[in-house]
Structure 1
């Protein structure tokens, strides 16, 4: 993660929550374009140029399938394809922001933020375990696939999922034990070497998003968008 452009984790989760809420409030294509543009702008600020280009191409392809091909094609199978393309396009801003948060937020930052928000221990421990869980499972998935290829086994569902399920159980137990060993269940006051503080870039991004929210509400109120 680029430390020069380090964003407060609270900013990231406010954006994720806000994008999801706007996604539920409006079904307008204009709002979709605004949200996708804003999401791409956020990851561009974090200098993820390749990811931004990839998401832009995906959005344009999905938009063309929904709005362009529907003029020339019809039928049951195209209806299914069109529905899938529409659903993926609608969820794309949420996926962009969510994946960006997972890639740029360290677990230590996440835990320090939860302590800063004074959340109860019963919430902090499960969330910290879950936050570490998915990257670990991804590593296990890659290790299992590599082991199967080395041994000459054909990659099939049961050859991958069965060891992955056993590994998932072990990983969850190990992560829970590691969280307790680090003293997360200690009822006393916790300290952290990580400073959780809002900076100018955080206020700028939140301000832009607030303008988008106000614009969406205004357009929806006057009936310009649905």
Structure 2
């Protein structure tokens, strides 16, 4: 999973054609469906379609500086989307203890593993906190939709961002304390109940990933998609 995230991130920024990025998106979409993440896959399809529609609309209108600026931002989001999908798969299918054991087996320093573990748990926790803040704002009768955020940005900062930042600070302290209680700061090697080993199936999967990545890059650089 970690290798997949790194490889997809590299390939998504190496590819230069829209067709190559679209094929990479379809591959990641197929992986999400394979891992029984159909709802997430549908959300990714909607996001990708919205970004494409915005890009084509701005490209057709050709509004001097706005078209160039916003199209660059949209293209950046389109490139990041496959890597984001790969991270979602990893977060949903790879437990934290297995991830940390894998990193330790690769001789990654503890000064990298500990912050990564805190961030790994922080992402899922902050998503829950965002939902809680939205619910509390709806109970108070405040508009939490995208339209309300655009029309009243200062109220959004006051009513949504500030409580979330205060809560996030407390959560980060709690996660750091929990990580230390689990013995992440000790010099001895940690143990894991799961049998984390690089097996033959992992070798085959990594080889297939590399083969697909090299094929996409080769076809992109040879102008096969044009």
- Is the TM value for this pair above 0.5? yes
- Return the offset for 1:59: 2.9
Confirm whether residue 17 of structure 1 aligns to residue 6 of structure 2: yes
Q: Counterpart of 2:101?
A: 112
- Return the offset for 1:221: 5.4
SS of the residue aligned with 2:192?
coil
Q: Counterpart of 1:73?
A: 61
Question: Deviations along 1:96-143, whole A, 9 cap, x unmatched?
Answer: 112222222222222222222232222222111111112222222222
Equivalences for residues 33-52 of structure 1 within 5 A: 33-52=22-41
CA distance, structure 2, for counterparts of residue 84 and residue 221 of structure 1 = 23
CA distance, structure 2, for counterparts of residue 128 and residue 30 of structure 1 = 35
Q: Counterpart of 2:149?
A: none
CA distance, structure 2, for counterparts of residue 17 and residue 128 of structure 1 = 17
SS of the residue aligned with 1:197?
coil
User: How large is the Cα RMSD of the aligned pairs?
Assistant: 2.9
The answer on whether the counterparts of 1:112 and 1:194 sit within 8 Å (CA) in structure 2 is no
CA distance, structure 1, for counterparts of residue 204 and residue 58 of structure 2 = 39
The answer on whether the counterparts of 2:11 and 2:213 sit within 8 Å (CA) in structure 1 is yes
Q: Counterpart of 1:8?
A: none
CA distance, structure 2, for counterparts of residue 33 and residue 200 of structure 1 = 30
Q: Counterpart of 1:103?
A: 92
Runs of at least 5 residues in structure 1 that lack an aligned partner in the other structure: 1-11
208-217 or 181-190, larger mean C-alpha shift: 208-217
Given the two structures, how large is their TM-score scaled by the length of structure 2?
0.78
The answer on whether the counterparts of 2:129 and 2:164 sit within 8 Å (CA) in structure 1 is yes
CA distance, structure 1, for counterparts of residue 135 and residue 202 of structure 2 = 41
Q: Per the alignment, do residues 56 and 144 of structure 1 end up closer, same or farther by CA in structure 2, a change over 3 Å counting?
A: closer
- Of 118, 122, 125, the match for 2:111: 122
Q: Per the alignment, do residues 144 and 44 of structure 1 end up closer, same or farther by CA in structure 2, a change over 3 Å counting?
A: closer
Aligned residues: 214
CA distance, structure 2, for counterparts of residue 18 and residue 109 of structure 1 = 20
190-199 or 69-78, larger mean C-alpha shift: 69-78
Confirm whether residue 143 of structure 1 aligns to residue 132 of structure 2: yes
Q: Counterpart of 1:4?
A: none
CA distance, structure 2, for counterparts of residue 188 and residue 71 of structure 1 = 57
Confirm whether residue 183 of structure 1 aligns to residue 183 of structure 2: yes
CA distance, structure 2, for counterparts of residue 204 and residue 116 of structure 1 = 19
CA distance, structure 2, for counterparts of residue 221 and residue 88 of structure 1 = 22
